[in-house]
Amino acid sequence: MLEDNGMPKQVHGSWRTGEVPEDWRKANVMPVFKKGKKEDPGNYGPVSLTSIPGKVMEQLILGVISKHVEEKKVIGSGQHGFTKGKSCLSSLIAFYDGMTGWVDEGTAVDVVYLDFSKAFDTLSPITSS
């Protein structure tokens, strides 16, 4: 059922009260094979199946937050990750442009590369007590 504003009643009620039903916060997490040997648990990634009303609410909240961030210029121009219209490539181009500018000016430049690509790619094993 929909409210007068076209929003599902459950979602509208949650939006009004600020309370999220417990069922919306639960997910069925399933391991999905990525690549490599199927016997290696490291070759599986988690996929969460969540509730539809919860997803609708997430999209509404995302829209409100995105509008605020864009209108109020909350995020600086140097932020490329998770920013609409920017990517790893735009970050690399901005970095390269800055570095070559400094080198052209004769400024000493030190660069440190850190690879966080796999930093959050694994699940901690469950240990029994």
Neighbouring CB atoms inside 10 A of 10's CB total 19
Is the pTM above the cut of 0.95?
Answer: no
Residue 89: count of CB within 10 angstroms of its CB: 9
pLDDT surpassing 80 at residue 89: yes
pLDDT category at 124 given cuts 50, 70, 90 is low
How confident is the model at residue 107, as a pLDDT? 95
Which of 83, 81, 10, 88 minimizes the C-alpha distance to 52?
10
**Residue 82: its pLDDT value, please?**
80
Asked whether 55 and 8 are in contact (CB, 8 A), the reply is no
Low-confidence winner among 64-68, 85-89, 107-111, 119-123 (lowest mean pLDDT):
119-123
Mean pLDDT, residues 43-67 taken together: 89
* Residues counted in the chain: 129
